[in-house]
Amino acid sequence: MVYKINPEKCLKCGLCVTQDCPEKAFVVVDKATENDGLTLYTVKIDEHKCTSCDTCFSHEWWCPAKAIVKG
Ligand code: SF4
Ligand code: SF4
């Protein structure tokens, strides 16, 4: 089972990168600052690091947008 981030749901808040993924599989691939000062993070799950432990998917607080999906 592969875990991915659904780009259509992702808010680019960056919260998932700060959570406690045991493999540190969440990586920021791009960072942009909006005119209002808000920073948006484009994030992915590194498929080579993710061990499909299910922790990020099963904890509702991990991603506020529920953008982490089993692919
Ligand atoms: S926590 Fe969810 S909404 Fe925020 S960047 Fe990560 S995947 Fe996207
Ligand atoms: S399934 Fe586990 S190893 Fe994979 S990204 Fe989520 S918390 Fe990290």
For residue range 14-48, list pLDDT tens digits in order.
999 999 999 999 999 999 999 999 999 999 999 99
Domain of residue 58, residue span: 3-70
> Is a pLDDT exceeding 90 seen at residue 2?
no
CATH number at 51 reads 3.30.70.20
What pTM was estimated for this model as a whole?
Answer: 0.93
The full 3-state SS of 56-71, as one line of letters, equals HHHCCCCCCCCCEEEC
The domain total for the chain is 1
Q: By percentage, how much of the chain surpasses pLDDT 90?
A: 94
Nearest CA to ligand 1 atom 4: 13
**Amino acid in position 38:** L
CA distance 36 to 43: 21
- pLDDT for 70 beyond 80: yes
Per mean pLDDT, which range of 6-10, 40-44, 59-63 is the poorest?
A: 59-63
Candidate from 55, 58, 60 with most ligand 2 atoms within 8 A of CB, to mutate: 55
